[in-house]
Amino acid sequence: MQNQLKAREKNVLNQTFNLIRTKAFEKALKLIEDFLDEGGKKSPGIVANLSYLYNAFKTPDKSKLDVYVAEVSSYLRENQEYQITAVMENFLSLTSSKGYARETMELFEFLLRAAAPITVFCWINYTYAAGLLDDESKDRVSALVDSRMPKEERYFGEFPMIFGNTASLLALRGKHDRALHYLRLCKKWDYDNFNSLRNSKDFKSMTGLDEFQRLFE
């Protein structure tokens, strides 16, 4: 029975990959849910795909999602098998965008301490989540990004949204000089949505600053 489920899982993952690639999200989600209903395991591959589909296609009701978030958080904390890029990126993207900002922050920090292979996408979700939380969270996260600079500038610069998120945290805390520093990094590393930051409510307190306005000239 176990061997049959393993073979079935491999087949499901292959089919799911092709279905997601062709944007057949409904079929992909049904395929995974049917597999789980048949007794299949939430393996790392299944979790990676399910997290992606819950975020990009169809989010389950809150009670079901609460259970899923708690379950996968536990897997990531207790089993290194789940600490792979696809699982961490897709799951943290799901939690940060669906109302689990605190869980996103705490899990990211656990994974960082555990020396898991954190990617820039994980950092993006971490810094985004902090913006939804209290001042202490904003300060803690911006300080952590600061502690990685300038050594990690090139690494973060591959996806400069992290600089924009960090600038937002600092602006919301009234730390305008540091916010300007990260906005300059955004511009330096050609953040695609840089100009949209000019009108972001996060930077409302900075619109009267000449240095801020000059960045967008």
Q: What is the pLDDT along the chain (217 residues), one digit of tens a residue?
A: 567 778 889 999 999 999 999 999 999 999 999 999 988 999 999 999 999 999 999 999 999 999 999 999 999 999 999 999 999 999 999 999 999 999 999 999 999 999 999 999 999 999 999 999 999 999 999 999 999 999 999 999 999 999 999 999 999 999 999 999 999 999 999 999 999 999 999 999 999 999 999 999 9
pTM: 0.93
Region of 190 on the Ramachandran plot (φ > 0 left; ψ -120 to 50 alpha; else beta): left
What SS3 state is found at 5? Answer: helix
CATH topology (fold) of 1-119: 1.25.40
Give the list of residues 6+ apart from residue 26 with CB closer than 8 angstroms, or none.
57, 58
- Please list the alpha-helical segments (H only) found in the chain: 2-21, 25-37, 44-56, 62-78, 85-97, 101-113, 120-130, 135-147, 153-157, 161-172, 176-188, 210-214
- Please list the alpha-helical segments (H only) found in 114-198: 120-130, 135-147, 153-157, 161-172, 176-188
**CA distance linking residue 93 with residue 47, whole number of Å:** 13
Cα–Cα separations (whole angstroms), residue 91 to 1, 19, 25, 163, 179: 29, 19, 17, 21, 28
AA identity, residue 46: I
Q: How many CB atoms are closer than 10 A to CB 71?
A: 12
Whether the CB-CB separation of 87 and 55 falls below 8 Å is answered with no
Note the pLDDT of residue 195.
Answer: 96
Sign of CA dihedral 82, 77, 103, 110: negative
Note the pLDDT of residue 96.
Answer: 97
Note the pLDDT of residue 4.
Answer: 74
Structural domain spans, the chain: 1-119, 134-217
Whether the CB-CB separation of 31 and 9 falls below 8 Å is answered with no
Note the pLDDT of residue 6.
Answer: 80
